[in-house]
Amino acid sequence: MALLQIAEPGQSSAPHEHRLAIGIDLGTTNSLVATVRSGLPEVIVDESGRALLPSAVWYRADHAPVVGEVALAQRITDPRNVVVSVKRWMGRSLSEIDSLADLGDSGPRSPVQVSAEILKTLRERAEQALGAAPDVLGIRHQEITGAVITVPAHFDDAQRQATKDSARLAGIPVLRLLNEPTAAAIAYGLDQQAQGRFVIYDLGGGTFDVSILQLSRGVFEVLSTGGDTALGGDDFDRTLFDHLAGLVVPGALPDLTLSVLSDADTSALRVESRRVKELLSSHAEVQVNCALPSGRRVEVSVTAAEFEKMSAALLARTIVTTRRALRDAGMQASEADGVVLVGGATRMPAVRRAVADLFGREPLTNLDPDQVVALGAAMQANLLVGNRAPGEDWLLLDVIPLSLGLETMGGLVERILTRNTTIPAARAQEFTTFKDGQTAMAVHVVQGERELVADCRSLGRFELRGIPPMVAGAARIQVTFQVDADGLLSVAARELSTGVEASVTVKPSYGLGDEAIAQMLTDAFGHAEADARMRSLHEQAVDAERLLLATQTAIEQDSALLSVADQALIGQRMAELSELCETLKDADALRAGIAALSAATEGFAAARMDQAVRQALAGRRVEDLDTNV
């Protein structure tokens, strides 16, 4: 008799078969891959025992790209064909990136393609270590089931989609995109069985993220998140680079440095700047004696105190963002149960002191800040493929970093999903038509915290056609926003009486600048009061236009009910209100203009109602009316 193979829900039906899953931290400066073996997460090293893979790709004419240490070493000898820090350009098109527009004989490469080369190298490293690589006959006896790839919490939809596209090009099946702070919390929280509210301070090579998480009995709930996608260790390197460049070319301003130095000199000085920064994390003073390819030299002593002064403004930006995230979570810094440092840049003593001063406690640093994100990603991947042990389970409740909504009349934003909404999430809201007989509606999806569409980021557009012609306001159009666990958005619109619908999976063209992303929340807070006034003004303008349209339609249909004097008065009030709508300066004046036109049309409206009642009752008997009551 054949037996059914039975397994616990979520576990493999063949317990002896361990599904191969990996976690990948695709970083700005370095990337790495991890997995879970014998129940413990570990980083996978290369043949030389190195865990970190430099996120550098060297493109050579007529040769396959080279990734890692060898590519990084070519920054000085062949700088125009080596791409570094590509993560900062994710979500942008090739035409917008001057630094990637010319890669010598190899031709241009997009950030997606460059990232794919890095991911491919990590995949191959994992396959070799896990026995998933083809044997001498080219046969794969077991394949990697999937990967969890981490992204900054503040990556927007375009950047997340670009990351998934890179993984697809690299031949990696993506189980999920996971926010980096959440991955770090998994690595810490499950290892230490932590409970309470924790702050994840993540300062990587190119981005800064901070998340406030509530950890309780295997539930990871993100209370708030903040960040800056244009701030990271690279920027601290840049402060030293500017300082040293000024010594190579006396009197040169930082913004003129690149035009004064050759490509080779610039690359050499950038490498030296990073070396000095890393040494200053453990030394009070570092001697710089650097010979540049051009023959020029820079000889100087740099102290830790000098470096901290140079980079103080950068560090202050991280603290401001952290305070904002705390405010969003409704808590004080002193109420945090722990602070976790993530990212290689957190090794800088000034960073650790600033975080300790803010929270009044020493941050947790017992896990390698370079590896903690990959370890957490590996643990999540292991769980998603069903390799969980009895009782090993947790729930991730992440959030969206920026509000999502659509454009309404007057160029206003109607938010459907507000920032810090837990994902996966779905929400539907009903809208209606503005004009009589309207049979189509344009749906414009936007992202941001401002009140006007012009101040937010456009994500996508589509049209809903086939709406039954009705009077304005009668149609019922339901618009549904859905954000999946990866933070990717889909939008659908449906006319409820007929069932006609249209939808879009938001895959915006890669075109949002890093500076624009970093400024979105800052602008929202800085312009909150002005935005509220502007929204009120535009709302009054929409109400005024609706009243003008309704009045004009009524006059065209029943002008016989108006006396010459009434018609003149209404015309005057309409002209005054139209002028206010055109100038669009004063919400109170618009409100007064609406009231004046409404008062002028009161008699007209009553006469039209009386006429409608008479027409409805014409030819009917009193007995019939009584029967129907």
Residue-wise burial string across 8-18, b where 16 or more C-beta atoms lie within 10 A, e elsewhere: eeeeeeeeeeb
Q: Which of 117, 122, 116 is nearest to 144 (CA)?
A: 122
Q: Which residues contact 530 (CB under 8 A, 6 or more apart)?
A: none
* C-beta separation of 33 from 22 below 8 A: yes
Active site residue 585: no
Q: How far apart are CA 408 and CA 621, in angstroms?
A: 47
401: left (phi over 0), alpha (psi -120 to 50) or beta: alpha
Angstrom distance (rounded) from CA 33 to CA 524: 37
**390 upstream amide cis, omega within 30 of 0:** no
- The DSSP call for residue 452 is B
Task: Mark whether 180 is an active-site residue.
Answer: yes
Q: Is 178 exposed, middle or buried (0-12, 13-18, 19+ CB in 10 A)?
A: buried
In terms of Cα–Cα distance, which of 216, 263, 220, 211 is closest to 103? 263
**Tokens at 8, concatenated:** 């616990």
The dihedral formed by the CA atoms of 445, 449, 453 and 455, expressed in degrees to the nearest 10 = -130
List, in sequence order, every residue forming a beta bridge with 287; answer none if it has no partner: 301
Q: How many CB atoms lie within 10 A of CB 607?
A: 15
Which SS3 state, helix, strand or coil, does residue 337 take? Answer: coil
**Angle at CA 139, nearest 5°, toward 138 and 141?**
145
Alpha-carbon distance of 102 to 97, in angstroms, equals 10
Which residue among 87, 120, 164, 277 is the active-site one? 87
What amino acid is encoded at 447 in this protein?
A: Q
87 counts as catalytic? yes
Q: Answer yes or no: 165 catalytic.
A: no
Kindly report the backbone phi and psi dihedral angles of residue 393, in degrees, each rounded to the nearest multiple of 5, phi listed first: -160, 150
Separation between Cα atoms, residue 209 and residue 229, nearest integer Å: 8
Catalytic residue among 127, 156, 202, 539: 202
Catalytic residue among 180, 228, 455, 514: 180
Q: Is 290 helix (H, G, I), strand (E, B) or coil?
A: strand
Contact 55, 29 (CB under 8 A): yes
Query: Catalytic residue positions?
Result: 25, 87, 180, 202
